[in-house]
Structure 1
Amino acid sequence: MKFLKLSLIIFFLFFNVSINAQSKFDKVNIKTTKLSDHIYMLEGSGGNIGVSVGNDGVFIIDTQFAPLTPKILTAIKKLSDQPVKIVANTHHHGDHTGGNKNLGDSGATIIAHENVRKRLLEKSAKSAIPVITFNDKLNIQMNNEQVAIFHVENAHTDGDAMLYFTESNVLHTGDTFFNARYPYIDINSGGSINGYINAVKSGLMVVDNDTKIIPGHGNLSNKAEYLTFLNMLETVKAAVLKEIENGKTEDQVSENTSLTKTYDDLGYGDHFINSKKMRRTVYQSLKN
């Protein structure tokens, strides 16, 4: 009897969690922004999606969460009657790869850095796993333009990729850019503050003042905002490094609001990563 009662409690707990999660996604709307004659940005819940449409089919960057796939496909159907042919993942996190299985089951080819495949192999269905991988860079000819895909090392994770649409002048940064907010640096997945800064510098090498930049999270961006983000990273790193050199502990740094005040006042800590977490993460990264 006690076992039955415990089983029922566990069932209802998981049932309620499932219902609440689905309810959250039911309220999500997919926003579409046109960036060129055939490139679009989709915003929903999770990482921003890039879309290329044309006679070659639909090419998308990242897939958000699995429950959102029907809404994402509905939004894409308004842009093209072609099927999703290729999916590129910017890294392995679930808010960017959750829909992989749905699209893989529908026949899409999934592409990502080799470290993304390794990490997804540990937790994902076969159809969600990239079937084409690369180490350094890859070029795709799609919908009358070359898409340059290049790996940036140990930034947000160890498998980050940026994608640049060479004719449309659109850069998708994945989570190596959180527009106007502190980024998530996943140290446990190989991320680092130094790699993150180098990734932004790499991205800046391919953009100009007219480039439309799709960040992993946040609003559509541009070179000026990208430079502001880089300045934030370098400023916070320098401030934390000075504290480390002065013998301050991780807890002392994480509690020192003066280190990030300039950007806290601009709202950078009002999102997924708050200012305390940012200071602690930078400390941990520099001490590793």
Structure 2
Amino acid sequence: MKRLYRLLGAMCCLAAVHGQAQDRFADVTINSEKVSDNLYMLTGAGGNMALLVGDDGAFLVDDQFAPLTDRIVAAVAEVSDKPLKFVINTHWHGDHTGGNENLGKQGALIVAHENVRKRMSADQFMETFGREVPAAPLAALPVITFTDATTFHWNGEDVRVQHVDPAHTDGDSIVRFANANAVHMGDTYFNGSYPFIDLSAGGSVDGVIAVMDRVLEQADDNTRIIPGHGTLSNKAELRAQRDLLVTLRDRVQKLIDQGMSRDEVIAAQPTKEFDQQYGQGFMKPDVWTGIVFDSLTSS
């Protein structure tokens, strides 16, 4: 009888967890914003997506969470009557790859840098949040991987998917739409907030700044920039974010050079004057300062 009670209790706990997961996405709507004639930015919960449409078929960058797949597919159908053929993952985190399994089973080919498949294939530990991330099922893994870059000639576009040196993670790619003069930066750019840098997955604050510099060199005043999180952006906003990160990185480095410990640097509040604007999201100022400290002292 006790065994039965334990089993029933476990089932109730699982049902509660399932219910919480369902409730988390219950009110999420997938919205689309036109970037160019056949390119859209889709938003919902998790990382921003890019959608390229045309006669060749739909092409999606990132796919948020599994419970949102039907809503994402419906959003695609609102602007295209063609099937979804390709999904690009900008990196391995679940808010960008959670729909892989569902969309793969529907016929889309999942493409990513080889480090994305490697990290999704094995259990991961996100040290910043003390969170274990179990390996993804085989059906969720990218089926096409590349080492440096790959180009899709699709729907009249030249879509360049370029791996960059470790930044947000060690598997980041930026996706450039040449004819649309647009780029999806994945989580190398959080527009309007302090960026999460996953040090346990090979990221670094210097790497994030380097990617921003790279995109700024290639962009012009008309380039539309899709960030991993935040609103559709442009070169001026990206430059402001890059300059902020340089300022704060240098402040933390100065405190480190003075011999301060991690706790002392956080207590010094080097980000204080920017916290009202950039520190109100999930990445809180003290957590972000600790990440920068760890990044700068790890090498």
The two structures have a TM-score, normalised by structure 1, of 0.97
The reply to whether residue 24 of structure 1 matches residue 24 of structure 2 is: yes
Q: Which residue number in structure 2 is paired with residue 212 of structure 1?
A: 224
1:158 is aligned, of 156, 170, 178, to 170
Q: In the alignment, what sits opposite 2:271? A: 260
SS in 2 for 1:26: coil
Give, in angstroms, the shift of residue 255 of structure 1: 2.1
For 2:218 and 2:94, the matched residues in 1 are separated by 28
- Within 5 A, what are the aligned runs for 1:86-235? 86-122=86-122, 123-235=135-247
Deviation for aligned residue 1:104 = 0.4
Cα deviation per residue 1:207-253 (whole Å; 9 max; x = unaligned)?
A: 11111111000011111110011011101110100010001011111
Q: Secondary structure at the match of 2:69?
A: helix
Q: Which moved more, 1:127-136 or 1:244-253?
A: 127-136
Measure, in 1, the Cα distance between the counterparts of 2:247 and 2:14: 44
Deviations 1:69-124 (A, max 9, x none): 00001111010010100000000000000000011001111110010011112212
Match of 1:280 in 2: 290
Counterpart CA distance in 2 for 1:110 and 1:279 is 35
Deviation of residue 173 (structure 1)? Answer: 0.3
Match of 2:132 in 1: none
Name the CA distance, whole Å, in 2 between partners of 1:9 and 1:232.
50
Is 1:249 aligned to residue 251 of structure 2? no
- C-alpha displacement at 1:277, in angstroms? 0.6
What is the rounded CA distance, in whole Å, between the counterparts of 2:267 and 2:11 in structure 1?
A: 40
Distance 2:60 2:39 in 1: 10
- Mapped partners of 1:99, 1:265: distance in 2: 33
* TM-score when normalising by structure 2: 0.93
Letter in 2 for 1:150: Q
Q: Distance in 2 between matches of 1:3 and 1:245?
A: 59
The one-letter code of the counterpart of 1:27 is: D
**Which letter does structure 2 place at the counterpart of 1:284?**
D
Distance 1:6 1:205 in 2: 61
Q: Which residue of 2 aligns with 1:3?
A: 3
**Count of residue pairs the alignment pairs up:** 286
Q: Secondary structure of 2:36's partner?
A: coil
Counterpart-to-counterpart distance in 1, 2:273 and 2:180: 35
In 2, Cα distance between equivalents of 1:194 and 1:92? 20
Task: List gaps (5 residues or longer) in structure 1.
Answer: none
Instruction: Give the residue type in structure 2 aligned to 1:172.
Output: H
Bigger shift: 43-52 or 126-135? 126-135
What is the CA–CA distance in structure 2 between the aligned matches of 1:204 and 1:111, rounded to whole Å?
25
2:84 alignment partner in structure 1? 84
Quote the Cα distance in structure 1 between the aligned partners of 2:11 and 2:254: 51
Structure 1 position 256, deviation (Å): 2.0
Partners of 1:11 and 1:253 in 2: how far apart?
A: 46
Amino acid in the other structure paired with 1:108: A
Q: Which whole-Å deviations, capped at 9, do the CAs of 1:137-184 have from their partners, x for residues lacking one?
A: 111101001011111111000000000100001110000000010011
Q: Return the offset for 1:127.
A: 2.3
Output the CA distance in 2 between the equivalents of 1:135 and 1:229.
Answer: 28
Q: Which amino acid aligns with 2:2?
A: K
Instruction: Write the letter of the residue equivalent to 1:167.
Output: N
State the AA in 1 paired with 2:263.
Answer: D
**The 10-residue stretch of structure 1 (18-27 or 37-46) with the greater mean CA deviation from structure 2:** 18-27
C-alpha distance in structure 2 between counterparts of 1:270 and 1:251, whole Å: 21
- Matched residues in 1 for 2:155 and 2:139: separation? 24
Gaps of 5+ in 2: 123-134
Percent sequence identity over aligned pairs: 46
Structure 1 residue aligned with 2:51: 51
- Structure 1 residue 274 displacement after superposition: 0.6
2:225 corresponds to which letter in structure 1?
I
Q: Does 1:74 align with 2:74?
A: yes
